[in-house]
Structures are given as structure tokens and as C-alpha cells.
A and B are shown apart, each in its own frame.
Chain A
């Protein structure tokens, strides 16, 4: 399909700074999720079967 006048085939082009910041944010989100997974796993090991017993 033909592009509109002024429209580039490449679409949005990120600057190097934007790419670097996006990568930093992605790594931070991955780390945070990793920590959450490890935390839940560790607590499951610590509590054992009692993990399902949660005091109100």
C-alpha cells in the first residue's frame, strides 16, 4: 500500500538515547519480576504446606 505524503516506511525511529532508556526500563522491569518470582518461591519453601494458611 502506498504511504501518505510525508510518511516514512520505517515508521517511528527511536533515537539512541530513547533506545538506551527503553532497554534500561525493560531490564528494570525484568529484574523486578524476577525478584517477585524468587520471593514467592522462597516463601513457598519456607512455609511449606503452611503456605495456604494465612492468618487474617
Chain B
């Protein structure tokens, strides 16, 4: 859907590729009174050409896939038995809630999205969906996902999902992102909550295990996004977003990446000796942690030229693989334990 003013111009000139609207504007706009001009300005006669794929893009499908994956891990490792229908309901609600947060994020960030090459193709800056449509879409999905999870599963999970959406859309997007270089450090809490929501959905309570999963994603977020910010710093600078490489410089960012990675690896390994997760997880976390550390050391070492960019890109990609494999081993361990219990 075109922005109002632009759409009006198109409507007035269908021959120029605009929308064919017959009789929408009876007289020249210049002939109208101020009140009439205003009513024309905000005329509802704008025809949306947004397709289903545009609305799906608003949900940030790639982020959603990570949300769903971590939530599934939270559900699988939770004790007890949740009926498959309730399991599917929980995953669906968490996915839609995550998508709602993404839509609200795109609605609020439409101005800076248009300035950044990474985000310029999103539906709002491209003019496929209007900002009000995106806001309405996000709010509707947020309400439905929270209410459905609360009514059908339990209200602790519903409340946690509501908090997750609020934290991402309001605390991170509206407040932190344009205000502080620590934006993604604090804002990372939103992305870390899905396994906690899932655990709450399965058990109706909280426990150390989901908090550990929360901490792992929370500490993983800064190295992951700062690696991205290192090779996209021009984008962020153009949009006036105070990402750490823009505010403190790339070298300070490299040091922070290394420090956060050290803490992340330590926290990720700790659940094994503490007895929360098993040896398969423990060994995997050590091996993957060594890889993560190696990539972050490479980022710290290579500070100029193509090598620096290559190192940052490698860390960005490998950090995704790190989180995926670290979490993937948990349900496998649960399945293996269940199998061993059955055989013995």
C-alpha cells in the first residue's frame, strides 16, 4: 500500500502507473476548503496491494524460526507430559507472539529501516504495507497470541509471552535502540525469553533450567549482533542508531565481543558440572565454546581490511551455528536418556 500522499498522486494520475480510482476526487484539490483538503489528505480511499507474503515478511520469519526452535527445546526438556495439542498450541502462540513483536518493531523502525541497506526492502519502506496496517497487524497478533496461550495453556506462560512482546516492542525498539550503545545487551532479554515461556507452558512454573537457557541466549546476543554491527556499521551510522561500533569504535567492540564470548562459554558449560544437563551437552558445549572463542579471537586480532570484515562475518555465522547446535543437543540428550530408561 502506498503512503497516503503518494497514493493520492497516483490515484490522480492512473496513466502514470497509479491506482485506477474513478470518482475518488470530484474536484481539483486546490478548489477545496481546508477541511475538505484535510479530509482528502486522510482519505480512506487507498487500495492496498499488499500480498500475504508482505505480511509474512512483517513477522520476521528468520527471527521467528530461532524463537520457535528455542521454544521447542524449552518444551522438550521440561519435565512431565504436555498433550501434543497443547504443545502445538504453545509453539504456535509463541511463534505468533514473536511475529507480532517483529511487526511492531518494523512499524516503529520504518524511518531507519528505509535508510539501511539491510532493511530497506522490508514491506513498509518498500511501500507495500502502510505503517498503520503494520501496527494494527502487530497489535492484533499480540493480543490473540497472549490470550490464546493464557486461555488454552496457562496464564504464567501467557503473561511471560506478553512481557516478551512488550520488552521487544517497547523497551528495546522504542526506548533502548536509539538511546544507548547497550541496546542489544539489555534488549537481548526479549530474544532469550521464548524457552522460558515454553517451559512455563509445559510446567506452569519456572526452574533453573529455563533460566540457564535464558542466560545463554542473553549472553550470546551481544557477540552475535556486534559482529553484524562491525561489518554493517555504515548502515547504523547512516540511520543514527548508536550501535557499539558507531559509538565506541570497532576496536572497543572487538574487546567487548571477546569478553562477552568468554563469559558466554563459561556460562554455557556450567550447567553440566552443576548437574542440570548431561555429559553429551557438557562435551558439546566445550567443543562449540572453543570454536566460538576462536572466532572471537580472530575478530579481535584482525582489525583492518578485508580480513577484519571476513572475521566479523565468520563470527556472525558461526555464532548462529553455535546456538543452534548447543540447543539441539539438549532434546537429543533427553531422547537418549528416555531410550536408555526404556531399554534398561
Contacts and interface: CB of A to CB of B under 8 A. Distances in A.
Interface string B58-95: 00000000000000000000000001011001001000
B147 to A, nearest CB: 10
- Interface SS of B by simple majority: loop
Nearest to B156: A56
Contacts of A40: 152
Interface string A19-42: 001101100100000001001101
A35 B151 CA distance: 16
Contacts of A8: 22-23
Nearest to A20: B51
Nearest to A8: B22
B154 interface: yes
Contacts of B51: 21, 24-25
A14 to B, nearest CB: 6
Nearest to B141: A32
B20 A6 contact: no
B21 interface: yes
Given A46-B86, A54-B155, A56-B156, A14 B22 contact: no
Interface residues of B, number: 31
A17 interface: yes
Contacts of A28: 52, 55
A54 B52 contact: no
A40 B86 CA distance: 10
A40 B92 CA distance: 13
Interface stretch (B41-49, B214-222, B262-270, B327-335): B41-49
Contacts of B48: 18, 21-22, 25
Interface string B1-45: 000000000000000000111111111000000000000000001
Contacts of B181: none
B50 A25 contact: yes
A7 to B, nearest CB: 4
A55 interface: yes
B134 to A, nearest CB: 14
B144 interface: yes
B47 to A, nearest CB: 5
A42 B84 CA distance: 11
B204 interface: yes
**Quick one: which of A8, A18, A21 has the most chain B CB within 10 A?**
A21
Contact of B19 (A5, A15, A46, A54): A15
B148 interface: yes
B47 A55 contact: no
B155 A15 contact: no
Contacts of A43: 85-86, 89, 152
Interface of B: 19-27, 45, 47-52, 55, 83, 85-86, 89, 92, 144, 148, 150-152, 154-156, 204
Interface of A: 3-8, 10-15, 17-18, 21-22, 24-25, 28, 36, 39-40, 42-43, 46, 54-56
22 contacts: A5-B26, A6-B25, A6-B27, A12-B22, A12-B47, A13-B21, A13-B22, A14-B47, A15-B20, A18-B47, A18-B48, A18-B49, A21-B48, A21-B49, A25-B48, A36-B144, A42-B85, A46-B86, A54-B155, A55-B154, A55-B155, A55-B204
Which 6 residue pairs of A and B lie closest in terms of their CB atoms, listed nearest first?
A: A8-B22, A7-B23, A4-B26, A8-B23, A43-B152, A28-B52
Given A14-B47, A43-B89, 12 more contacts: A6-B25, A7-B26, A14-B20, A15-B19, A15-B20, A17-B49, A18-B48, A25-B52, A43-B85, A43-B152, A54-B151, A55-B155
